[in-house]
Structure 1
Amino acid sequence: MRQMIDFRDYLIEKFSDIDKALSFLEVLLEEHEKDPDGAALYYGFSAAVEAQGGVQKFALKTHSTPQAISDALLSKDEIQIAELLKKQVLTRRGKDKDIAQNRPLPKGWREVKIIDFSPLQRGFDLPAAQIKEGTYPVVYSNGIKNHHSEYKAKAPGVVTGRSGTIGEVTYVTQDYWPHNTSLWVTDFKGNHPKFVFYFLQNLRLDRFYAGSGVPTLNRNDVHKKSILIPTLPEQKAIASLLEKWDKDIEKTEALIEAKEKRFKWLMTRLIAQSCKHWNHYKASELFKNISCKGYPKEELLSVTQDRGVIPRYMLEGRVMSPTNGTDSYKLVEPGNFVISLRSFQGGLEYSKYRGIISPAYTVLLPEKKINDDFYRHFFKTYIFVEKYLALAVIGIRDGKQINLEAFKSIKLPLPSLPEQQRIAQTLNTAQQEIYLLKQLAEQYRTQKRGLMQKLLTGKWRVKPNIKARI
């Protein structure tokens, strides 16, 4: 297991409640059992303790003794930590298995096993070479990815991943072919199909992962799980309410897609079609290569294709820690451009942040008065990547990189500053609209997740007058 940087901050930021922290630590525990020499278990454990406000609070919420936690943190003994986490995880799993003793049964609800609610069966083999073009969806572990001339299951259908992608659930509205990488619900047992879909979504099926190679869902473990379900009228009402959020999400995502198409059209109209009319200067006349080192205490930055140059703590997942210190790292200031190591995906990224990056990157400082946002957009255009930058790219496929000396000789457009500002303002406005819509879509998704957690567990009940209207 690789060493991680900013892991504590990442965990503290992401897992503000104990259930989320323990879910993540459960994954770490499984990885630790495969690689006992890894350091992630200790980092994750200590970060979770800090995220919960210290030893006492963490102990209270995880049914562990403060002394045991303190001893583990002080000793950094991963075996001790692993044993402590096993206790927490087993306690958590025990609660899942015996829900009747840990949660009151909502009025009108009943307890059943998954096998008596939505039994799952392995899908059918269908090699890619045997697919014949048709109208019937082929549902894989990660959703509908093809269409075939035959079907194996009648609609409606609920399908989840068996191998490869675990946890994703797909609802199918027409007759379909469940692929062998999936598990499909063979009998809804009198339950509302859309409710079954939402229920399995909320169940976190990825918890039933089995195997150490390709992720595989153990359906036998799923079938044994006890759950609480409402009456059919309440199932229909819950599904209807959640569908309203799905429709809002779909409408917003359609708007995002339309706005993104318009943004690409604007990029072409305002930049690509105008380039030939602008004065051109060598890149070395517009930008100079700078290399300021000796700032090891500055924020570590990462170069990304979609977000530019950002602090590493903003990255999701794990990032590599520098093994030889950061004295040789280069300083980046707001307004600098960085030549990305992944040149085949764009080439130059803009920084709004001060910090340091690997010495493998090239940092550029504008030599002439420019509008930063104009060039931030320009460096993402198809015409820049394919016409201008292509002259300085060497290597093939993933091995492509920018030859700095060749880049210096490329002639880049320099519109007048007022024109740069006008174009940048138009593109910024269009980009901001997309950003706000994405925020709205995420708000809808967050609201839906919250509703699912409440409605599908009986913590919130649908009012009788609402059920009567559905």
Structure 2
Amino acid sequence: MNGWNIEKLATLVNVVYGKSPSAIEKLDDGFPIFGTGGVVGYTSEVLYEGPSVILGRKGTIDKVQRCTSPFWAIDTTYYTTPKRDFDWSWLYYTISSFDLRKLNEASGVPSLSRSSLEALDVAVPPLHEQQKIAAILTTVDKKLDVIARQIEATKTLKQGLVQTLFRRGVGTQNTDGRWVPHTEFKDSEQGQIPAMWEVVPQGMVSTFFNGRAYKLTEWEETGTSVIRLQNLTGSGDKYYYSNLTLPEHQYVNNGDLLYMWSASFGPYIWSGEKAIYHYHIWKVECGERLDRLFMYYSLDWLTTGMKGKTHGSTMMHLTKAGMEKYPMVLPPLAEQRQIAKILSTVDSKIELLTARQTQFMNLKRGLMQKLLTGEWRVRLDGSASET
């Protein structure tokens, strides 16, 4: 790496302990107060003028933060002050490229020592290269910020649409096929709804089937996949298998509606091959009067409402009998499908934005690996080349 040096972080910055916030007044505005997870408030006091890179000392030790203005950092954090000239954005990205969790020195609450940070080996390019590397990565971060705002705005739009569609509907179709808004409404146990809608127990128009509980001795190395909660939530992709012959309702096929009722809560449309669903999951079969996708959004709306009324680990306790008795609004089938179509269009937009977000996150990770190690060198004209 011509012109680059491998140096300890301690040659670039002082790693300084944050201070307790007990002596400062917490305000709604002012200078930010940094904790290990982010900004935890504001104050009129200043601990350091900035710029600085802020790191977790205890608790969240792998979230690297930066601030270019005056701030306060609490005593579970470190902040950094310069020993020489360098580009602060470059340093932020460089420290972010380390897996700081590997420096954890505690068996309980994660802890990061100052000496471990100071001993990090940093590949230090000339200042003009630092600035160019930082500019490239900042451009990607700006794009990620735009996408994140778009995702948040689209989710907010969906929340508003759900409230409107499950209270006001889309209306009725005229002879030209256009949807004409409802004009007559009635009071119900689900609030005011269009006069032509019904409110019925969920079990009247759908059937909830319990998943099967397995013994460890019943798992097989091959066979039919058994869907567990972690396979639906994304917290684990390992599947177990079964070769048992079960009643047909114990199997789930592509497009079937499932509901997670324990630990994780909410509906899920299965998109895989034929499988078996485990205990803590219900399969929901819809009758002739109920559209499956409408039921998915109805259950999602119901779950969101229940989560909003509860807290933490005591979030919810759901029973099959309780879910079957729970009242739901039931528009005519054509209107159900139109409501589901509108919401699925918004969901498709969120999925598209999320895929773009993942694409740019992968791009950023790749660029950090190449640029911050000197494998790719940048030129002053902005182009990059492989050494």
Q: Normalising TM by the smaller chain, what interval?
A: 0.7 to 0.9
Change over 3 Å in CA distance of 1:399–1:175 after alignment to 2: closer
Letter in 2 for 1:447: L
Partner of 2:20: 125
Shift of 1:142: 1.8
What SS does structure 1 have at the residue aligned with 2:376? coil
The answer to whether the aligner puts 1:333 opposite 2:252 as a matched pair is yes
Task: Please identify which structure carries the higher helix content.
Answer: 1
Partner of 2:288: 368
Shift of 1:356: 2.8
Letter in 1 for 2:55: T
Partner of 1:437: 353
Unaligned runs of at least 5 residues, structure 2: 170-189
The answer to whether the aligner puts 1:285 opposite 2:211 as a matched pair is no
Unaligned runs of at least 5 residues, structure 1: 1-105, 305-310
Partner of 1:428: 344
Partner of 1:446: 362
**Does the Cα contact within 8 Å between 2:93 and 2:134 map onto a contact in 1?**
yes
The answer to whether the aligner puts 1:257 opposite 2:152 as a matched pair is yes
151-160 or 129-138: bigger deviation? 129-138
Change over 3 Å in CA distance of 1:291–1:131 after alignment to 2: closer
Identity of aligned residues (%): 22
Q: Distance in 2 between matches of 1:405 and 1:298?
A: 29
Task: Please identify which structure carries the higher strand content.
Answer: 2
Partner of 2:129: 234
Partner of 1:455: 371
Change over 3 Å in CA distance of 1:205–1:403 after alignment to 2: closer
**Does the Cα contact within 8 Å between 2:258 and 2:281 map onto a contact in 1?**
no
Partner of 1:178: 73
Q: Distance in 2 between matches of 1:379 and 1:288?
A: 13
What SS does structure 2 have at the residue aligned with 1:151? coil
Letter in 2 for 1:302: R
Change over 3 Å in CA distance of 1:290–1:233 after alignment to 2: closer
Partner of 1:400: 316
Letter in 2 for 1:211: A
**The one of 291, 295, 299 aligned to 1:379:** 299
TM alignment of 1:195-206, pairs within 5 A: 195-206=90-101
**Does the Cα contact within 8 Å between 2:306 and 2:316 map onto a contact in 1?**
no
Shift of 1:226: 2.9
TM-score, scaled relative to structure 2: 0.78
Letter in 2 for 1:438: T
**Does the Cα contact within 8 Å between 1:123 and 1:179 map onto a contact in 2?**
yes
Shift of 1:350: 4.3
Residues 100-146 of structure 1 deviation map (CA, whole Å, 9 limit, x = unaligned)? xxxxxx11112321100233122111249953444111111122222
Q: Distance in 2 between matches of 1:365 and 1:240?
A: 53
**Does the Cα contact within 8 Å between 1:192 and 1:235 map onto a contact in 2?**
yes
Q: Distance in 1 between matches of 2:320 and 2:23?
A: 43
Q: Distance in 1 between matches of 2:246 and 2:59?
A: 41
The answer to whether the aligner puts 1:299 opposite 2:220 as a matched pair is no
Shift of 1:386: 5.3
Residues 173-215 of structure 1 deviation map (CA, whole Å, 9 limit, x = unaligned)? 3211111111111225211111111111112222221121211
Q: Distance in 1 between matches of 2:91 and 2:355?
A: 28
Partner of 2:333: 417
**The one of 356, 368, 374 aligned to 2:276:** 356
Q: Distance in 1 between matches of 2:244 and 2:107?
A: 35
Change over 3 Å in CA distance of 1:236–1:257 after alignment to 2: same
Residues 294-315 of structure 1 deviation map (CA, whole Å, 9 limit, x = unaligned)? 99643121347xxxxxx46x73
Change over 3 Å in CA distance of 1:403–1:396 after alignment to 2: farther
**Highest RCO, 1 vs 2 (Cα 8 Å, sep ≥ 6):** 2
Letter in 1 for 2:259: V
**Does the Cα contact within 8 Å between 1:134 and 1:150 map onto a contact in 2?**
no
Aligned residues: 348
The answer to whether the aligner puts 1:167 opposite 2:167 as a matched pair is no
**Does the Cα contact within 8 Å between 1:303 and 1:340 map onto a contact in 2?**
no
Residues 408-428 of structure 1 deviation map (CA, whole Å, 9 limit, x = unaligned)? 333322222221221111111
What SS does structure 1 have at the residue aligned with 2:378? coil
Change over 3 Å in CA distance of 1:355–1:210 after alignment to 2: same
Shift of 1:285: 1.8
Partner of 2:44: 149
Partner of 2:110: 215
Q: Distance in 1 between matches of 2:373 and 2:315?
A: 50
Task: Please give the root-mean-square deviation of Cα atoms over the aligned residues, in Å.
Answer: 3.5
Shift of 1:250: 0.6
**Does the Cα contact within 8 Å between 2:7 and 2:123 map onto a contact in 1?**
yes
Q: Distance in 1 between matches of 2:74 and 2:199?
A: 55
Letter in 2 for 1:145: V
**Does the Cα contact within 8 Å between 2:144 and 2:360 map onto a contact in 1?**
yes
**Does the Cα contact within 8 Å between 1:272 and 1:381 map onto a contact in 2?**
no
Shift of 1:436: 0.7
